[in-house]
Amino acid sequence: MANLKEIRIRLNSVKSTRQITSAMKMVSAAKLRKAQDAIVQMRPFANKLQEIQRTASTALNNESTENVFLQPGASDRVLLVVISSNRGLCGAFNSNVIKKALYRISEKYHAAFQGNKLDVMCIGKKGYDSLKSRGLSIIDSRHSILEKLTFADSRTIADKLIGEFMVKKYGSIELIYNQFRNAAIQDVVAESFLPLTHTVSTDEILTLPLNYIYEPTAELLLERLIPMALRIQFHKALLDSLASDHGARMTAMHKATDNATDLIRELELTYNKARQASITNELLEIVSGANALRG
């Protein structure tokens, strides 16, 4: 059994750690509330915009009219946009995104990777550090955007991605990020950004309102609507990732605080037992010494 000093030092260390994890949990909880409100308010607008875009795209396909955003890219280069976090201590948040990116590369984009036709854009330091160490081609990294996320900053990146697709630098652009469900659950998704695949299938025709009247034409509407929808889609992905980050960190720090509390309880019990044993030994030594003096 460890001596009293060692147990006391470890006990004080765990108590200090619990104070840190408890403070981090409260900070993440405060940030989560704001990030959750932002993504909840964004989703209805983004979903409705996507619905209008899909129905207009279907009308455009029926008219046999071509649109650059709806056509497969002429280039065979692929760009993956991996959205992670700048900091750790958030459970499996970052590792799940990295695993998803590596899985997509090995399963779907293996040929592009082998032919040096796969590039990666990283948003978040953790994803950048991990994927860079694996030898992937990181063409761009944006970390500061996550510190204070604004639509203006995300629009700048989205416009860059749209421009590179339109000049046929990339034939496919995909977003990989954590989609927020609640504070404890985040779904890792790989979402196609370009080309658009939001056309209405036969099964969906009965569920979507296809009786829109387009003025002047569906083609002109899509020219304005699609870039806006893509910017909203990209900004929503960042908001989802940010809310998921705070939720995962709050949950991880909550578990760490609970574990520290349990460990403190065990250490206090061990310390009391060791202290009791020490006192008993001292009493025995005193009694033995007294008996020896009498003898």
Query: 264: which 2 tokens?
Result: 């403190």
Residue showing tokens 């649109």? 67
Mean pLDDT, consecutive 10-residue stretches, the chain (295 aa), reads: 84 95 94 92 88 74 65 83 94 95 94 93 95 92 90 95 92 95 91 76 54 73 86 95 95 95 95 89 85 80
Does residue 142 fall inside a structural domain? yes
What pLDDT score was predicted for residue 196? 82
What pLDDT score was predicted for residue 163? 93
Rounded to 5 degrees, what are φ and ψ at 130? -70, -45
What pLDDT score was predicted for residue 132? 93
Does residue 103 fall inside a structural domain? yes
Query: 265: which 2 tokens?
Result: 């309880």
The residues annotated as belonging to the active site are 90
Residue ranges of alpha helices (H) inside the chain are 4-62, 93-107, 110-114, 125-133, 151-166, 218-294
Amino acid code (one letter) for 29: A
Question: What CATH number is given to the structural domain containing 228?
Answer: 3.40.1380.10
What pLDDT score was predicted for residue 92? 92
Length reported for the chain: 295
Does residue 82 fall inside a structural domain? yes
Q: CB–CB of 253/24 below 8 Å?
A: yes
Candidates 76, 70, 126, 77; CA nearest to 101 is 126
Does residue 80 fall inside a structural domain? yes
The total of other beta-carbon atoms located within 10 Å of residue 86's CB is 17
Structural domain containing residue 33: 23-252
Rounded to 5 degrees, what are φ and ψ at 131? -70, -30
Total structural domains in the chain?
A: 1
Does residue 77 fall inside a structural domain? yes
Does residue 150 fall inside a structural domain? yes
Residue 206: enclosing H or E segment and its boundaries? none
What pLDDT score was predicted for residue 59? 65
Q: CB–CB of 67/221 below 8 Å?
A: no
Does residue 279 fall inside a structural domain? no
Candidates 11, 5, 3; CA nearest to 268 is 11
Amino acid code (one letter) for 215: E
Does residue 283 fall inside a structural domain? no
